[in-house]
Amino acid sequence: MQIQSGDGFGNAIRNGVHPRMDGELNKRVIWMVAAPNPIPEHSGSSLKIRRQTMMEMSRAHSSPLSALPGYWAQLGIPEPGAALLEHLQAGFAFVVLKRLAAVSGVPQYKLAAMVGLSRYALRQSRKRGRFSMAHSHQLYRVARVLAAAQTLFEGNWEAARMWLQEPQWGLGGRRPVELLSTEVGAEAVCDLLGRIEHGVMP
């Protein structure tokens, strides 16, 4: 069933009604979950980037909201695994940001803000034609959250973007896009998306 955008969809989001209908039960699923513990403004940076990446890949493998077929290929990023680690160590090509913007419909400057890139860092990455390993990890994290949102809304990028931009009770009233620059925040968003997918109630 395709998700329809517009006023009806927006009202469903605000009222906490899962926009997808179960074909067998044909009922609305209330998906708003209790707000988790307050999310810190900045996550600790003590963990090594490689360890963070391994954790990200582990979550990507176990997540019920894995990317739809062809998503990573469109971005020029390997599926989670050894090849992805090699790409992260070398740094993603700058074109990955452009491709993610084209695929998701999110402007490059907004994606840069989600990643936590300053204007200077963005200019330097564009000049080099490649992101640093740290920024590549952050870009991968954002791409994974976007993939989960797209999957939840059955490939409807408009609905996914709308959800990411609106305050969510399950995030303490914060907007998902505000949390993606930290690992703790991004994981909270992914966790909420997973709960919504399973119709978990408070």
CA distance linking residue 17 with residue 13, whole number of Å: 6
pLDDT value at position 197?
Answer: 87
What are 160's two structure tokens? 């996914």
What are 8's two structure tokens? 């009806």
Three-class HEC string of 172-201:
CCECHHHCCCCHHHHHHHHHHHHHHHCCCC
Tokens 């090509």, located at residue: 93
- Residue 85 CB coordination number (10 Å): 15
CA distance linking residue 168 with residue 189, whole number of Å: 10
Residue from 137, 139, 168 nearest 152 by CA: 168
Q: Where in the chain are the domains?
A: 7-197
Q: Across-strand partners of 130?
A: 93
- Over 80: is that where the pLDDT of 13 sits? no
Tokens 């739809």, located at residue: 68
- Assess contact for 177 and 114: CB atoms under 8 A: yes
Per residue in 61-91, pLDDT (tens digit) is: 444 466 788 899 999 999 888 899 999 999 9
Q: Write down the H helix ranges in the chain.
A: 7-15, 49-62, 71-75, 82-90, 95-104, 108-115, 119-128, 133-152, 157-165, 183-197
CA distance linking residue 100 with residue 142, whole number of Å: 10
- Assess contact for 148 and 140: CB atoms under 8 A: no
Q: What is the largest CA-CA distance in the chain?
A: 54
- Look at 61-65, 105-109, 125-129, 178-182 and tell me which has the smallest mean pLDDT: 61-65
- Assess contact for 134 and 152: CB atoms under 8 A: no
- Assess contact for 60 and 80: CB atoms under 8 A: yes
- Confidence band, pLDDT 50/70/90 cuts, at residue 173: very high
Per residue in 122-170, pLDDT (tens digit) is: 999 999 999 999 999 999 999 999 999 999 999 999 999 999 999 999 9
